[in-house]
Amino acid sequence: MSAAHVASPTRGVVFVHCCPPAIGPHVEWALAGVLGRPCKLEWTAQPASPGQLRAEATWVGPIGMAAKLSASLRAWPMLRFEITEEGTSSTDGERLAYVPGRGFHRSAVSANGDVVVGEERLRGLLTRAKSADEFAHGLHEILGSSWDAELEPYRTAGDGSPVILLHKVV
């Protein structure tokens, strides 16, 4: 990895939308392991799922941090979370979403948060889809519509919640 690539910091947000209370400390330890420093989240009740918790934290770190943070949370398949990474002058932004039973969805995102779909993915879909229904289904899959539909109640339930700042030790 080049020195310029390592020196290019980016930032993003970790949204833990739904977490059992007993798992909260494990989530903090996992994030701390990636960030290289202690991580203390401010957990609040998740109104969309009584008895569960939610937390948000902004982070600053090297490019690729969103993928590393997401991978650190995959040990707990009951979590619902999203991790974003802002684009830089040399990289696209991205959003990684995880929903139990559905797994991960990874999307490139523009500066305003829109999903960006590459030409090769669209051409592949045009080649594979044999009907309008198959094409529509493929577009929904590429856009992550099912993940968004499942996460939306948890997102809106968190409006107004506190956000913590996390930094990667460099």
| 137, part of any domain | no
| 123, part of any domain | no
Q: How far is CA 4 from CA 8, 62, 114, in A?
A: 6, 11, 27
| 122, part of any domain | no
42, pLDDT greater than 50 = yes
The predicted pLDDT at position 65 comes to 95
pTM for this predicted structure: 0.84
> Alpha helix locations (H) across 10-86?
24-35, 65-73
| 19, part of any domain | yes
Question: HSE on the CB side for 58, CA within 13 Å?
Answer: 8
111, pLDDT greater than 90 = no
The predicted pLDDT at position 159 comes to 56
- Under the banding of pLDDT at 50, 70 and 90, the label for residue 166 is low
156, pLDDT greater than 90 = no
Q: By the 8 A CB rule, do 164 and 42 touch? A: yes
| 132, part of any domain | no
The predicted pLDDT at position 161 comes to 54
pLDDT tens digits, one per residue of 113-150: 888 999 999 999 999 999 999 999 999 999 999 999 99
| 24, part of any domain | yes
| 84, part of any domain | yes
Q: Average pLDDT of 49-65?
A: 94
Owning domain of residue 40: 3-116+152-165
**109 vs 14: CA distance, rounded Å:** 16
Number of folded domains that form the chain: 1
Instruction: Using alpha carbons, select from 98, 95, 96 the residue that is nearest to residue 78.
Output: 98
| 39, part of any domain | yes
